[in-house]
Structure formats: C-alpha cells, structure tokens
C-alpha cells in the first residue's frame, strides 16, 4: 500500500527558477576571471540546515543579537506592522518572525519568501501549527526579482509590509542595494536588519568558526553542483576562506583551490590554479548613516532604527517617501 502523507496545510506559490537556469548561472560564474557563485545557490535543503546550525554558533553574534533587538523593541515594531500582511524575504526557518507574531496578534497573514522550497514549506507549516490565527503562505522565489504579486491573491489589494532580517541585504553590492530597495518598495514599508561595522576580531570568526560549520556550509555548494549538475569537484582539493576587507567594509567569503586542477561539469572543463578563489559571498557592513543614505537614494525615508547595547547590529524601519 502506498504511504499516505498528510497534505501540507501551507499554500505554496512556486516560482523557483528552472534547473537549466542554475546550470547556466554556474557555468557563467565559473568562466569569469574572478570565479563567482550567487549566494542563493548555497541554500539547498542541506545548505539551509547548515545555515541554521551557524545561527547557533557562539561566534555568530548576528542571529542572537537581532533576536534580542526584536525582543526588546517588540511592542514598537508590532505597532509599526499595524494590520498589514507581513511579507518576510529570505524567511529561512522563520524563527525571528515568531517574536513579532507574538507581539502583534493583529497580524493574521504571513507570507514567507525563500528560494529553499522544502525548508520554506516546513517553516510555514510549523508557524501555522504554533499560531492558530495565522494564515502562512509560502512563496518560493528569488527575492532579487520583482515579486509576482499579481499571481498571489493573498497579496492583492491588501496593505503589506516587508521584513528582511539576517543582514541578507549585506550580500548585495551597495549599488545593487539601491535597485533592490526600489524593487521591494512595492511591498510598502520595510523593516530590514543590517549588520554594523566592527572589529575584524569579531567579524572574521563569525564567518569562519572554530567548528568548521561555515566552511561546511560554503563547500556544500560544490556538493550540490556535483549532484544536480553532474560535476566532479573533489572537496578535498578546496578550502574555505573568510577575510574582512576593511577598505570595502565587507567580509569576503571564498573557496580556494589547493592545487592546479580541472573540474568537469558536463562537457565543460573548468580550470583552477593553485590558490585561485571562487567567491561565494560578500557580506557588507554599514554604519547607520551609510545605510540610511542608501535607503534614501532608493526613495525610502528612514523613520526608526533599533540597535543593541553593544552596537553590533541594527534594525531599520524604512517608510516610502
């Protein structure tokens, strides 16, 4: 008898890009003089699990600090949400949103937007289990592209507010931040988590921890390319690196080749010199003023910023001008 699986209560709108897009983006990125992969490719099911493990690490101050900011200021933030539909970009395990949902009983519709489909569905299902009043809708999509609101009835003709935590905005180059903010302006106001500039002594261990979870997370993208695109990366021939580039104000995360080697991906041959790097992520850090300037260039008006006592992390409320 076939196994009966309980149907998921979560409505899913699936705009995940086709596998062919993944192949062509990877081939394009690996053929550049500075090899590069988009950070979104880090998040297959295993990548999402590893990111959750990173959030628990003692070195990774970002998650616990942002959660602390949310807890301390929950009342004020809940008031800012009003009765709007709450749309979280890059929602991951939807943990942070729980703090706001507890403080804002008037919010009854939540839309999680994430590229990691299964993880997203599980997170939305768990939310619906824990918040009886809540309609949690999963939208599997690339948040750097305009959200296809017309195809999501729950978002039509209803006031919305965007929530973009986790300092994911730091993955974008500053010039991309402006176009990204202009795109998400269609959601109305935005509450966005932004990591602050600080000592490399704090920053570098956060992105390259003693237990090697950050390294496993980054190298998992090679495993994913092997599995999904039939490549033959030998993971023993690569190592993960994370360095703070103070002049650029960003953590640079990369996978370095430990030897001269050729990797096959279908018919393509990708050559690596010893020491050559493949960039997996940039994570930009901003002062409050720097970020507010970018937001204003994108047409937002910064109305409030919440920070923790140690000034490690900031949470900005941006309104449409």
Ligand X SMILES: C[S@@+](CC[C@H](N)C(=O)[O-])C[C@H]1O[C@@H](n2cnc3c(N)ncnc32)[C@H](O)[C@@H]1O
For binding to ligand X (CB under 6 A), which residues are involved?
39-40, 43, 48, 51, 55, 63, 90-92, 96, 114-116, 142-144, 165-166, 168
Residue 237: CB minimum distance to ligand X, A: 27
Residue with Cβ nearer ligand X (56 or 156): 56
Residue 38: CB minimum distance to ligand X, A: 7
Cβ atoms within 10 Å, residue 222? 21
Residue with Cβ nearer ligand X (116 or 257): 116
Residue 62: CB minimum distance to ligand X, A: 8
Residue with Cβ nearer ligand X (168 or 214): 168
Which alpha helices (DSSP H) does 165-250 contain, by range? 174-184, 200-207, 213-229
Alpha-carbon distance of 276 to 34, in angstroms, equals 9
Alpha-carbon distance of 67 to 53, in angstroms, equals 16
100-122: burial string, b at 16+ Cβ within 10 Å, e else: bbebbeebebbbbbbbbbebbbb
Token look-up 């990797």 returns 263
Residue 4: CB minimum distance to ligand X, A: 30
Radius of gyration of the chain (CA): 20
Which three-class secondary structure state does DSSP give residue 168?
helix
Residue with Cβ nearer ligand X (162 or 165): 165
In 3D space, the residue among 158, 198, 183, 159 whose CA is nearest the CA of residue 288 turns out to be 198
Alpha-carbon distance of 229 to 27, in angstroms, equals 10
Residue 34: CB minimum distance to ligand X, A: 20
Residue with Cβ nearer ligand X (10 or 263): 10
Cβ atoms within 10 Å, residue 246? 12
Residue 269: CB minimum distance to ligand X, A: 28
Residue 272: CB minimum distance to ligand X, A: 25
Q: Which residues, other chains included, contact 107 with Cβ-Cβ below 8 Å and sequence gap of 6+? A: 78, 81, 83, 84, 85, 86, 100, 101, 134
Residue with Cβ nearer ligand X (43 or 284): 43
Residue 284: CB minimum distance to ligand X, A: 13
Helix-helix angle 213-229:45-55, to 10 degrees = 170
Alpha-carbon distance of 277 to 200, in angstroms, equals 21
Residue with Cβ nearer ligand X (102 or 301): 102
Decide if 240 contacts 204 (C-beta within 8 A): no
Decide if 127 contacts 94 (C-beta within 8 A): yes
Residue with Cβ nearer ligand X (39 or 162): 39
């Amino acid at each position: 008898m076939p196994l009966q699986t309980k149907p998921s209560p979560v409505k899913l709108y699936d705009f995940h890009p086709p596998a062919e897009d993944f192949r062509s983006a990877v081939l394009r990125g690996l053929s550049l003089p500075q090899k590069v992969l988009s950070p979104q490719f880090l998040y297959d099911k295993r990548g999402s699990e590893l990111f959750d493990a990173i959030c628990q690490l003692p070195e990774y101050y970002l998650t616990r600090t942002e959660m602390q900011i949310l807890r301390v200021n929950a009342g004020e933030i809940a008031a800012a949400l009003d009765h709007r539909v709450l749309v979280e970009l890059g929602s991951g395990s939807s943990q942070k949103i729980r703090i706001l949902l507890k403080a804002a009983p008037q919010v009854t519709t939540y839309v999680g937007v994430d590229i990691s489909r299964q993880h997203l569905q599980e997170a939305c299902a768990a939310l619906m289990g824990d918040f009886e009043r809540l309609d949690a809708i999963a939208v599997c999509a690339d948040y750097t592209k305009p959200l296809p609101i017309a195809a999501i009835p729950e978002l039509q003709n209803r006031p919305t507010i965007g929530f973009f935590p986790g300092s994911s905005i730091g993955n974008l180059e500053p010039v991309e931040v402006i176009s990204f903010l202009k795109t998400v302006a269609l959601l109305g106001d935005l509450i966005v988590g932004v990591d602050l500039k600080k000592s490399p002594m704090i920053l570098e261990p956060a992105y390259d921890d003693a237990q090697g979870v950050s390294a496993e997370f980054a190298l998992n993208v090679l495993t994913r390319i092997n599995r999904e695109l039939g490549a033959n990366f030998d993971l023993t021939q690569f190592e993960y690196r994370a360095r703070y580039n103070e002049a650029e104000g960003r953590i640079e995360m990369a996978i370095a080749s430990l030897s001269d080697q050729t990797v096959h991906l279908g018919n393509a041959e990708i050559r690596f010199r010893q020491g050559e790097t493949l960039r997996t992520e940039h994570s930009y850090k901003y002062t409050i003023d720097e970020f507010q300037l970018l937001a204003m260039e994108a047409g937002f008006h910064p109305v409030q910023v919440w920070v923790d006592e140690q000034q490690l992390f900031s949470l900005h409320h941006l309104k449409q001008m």
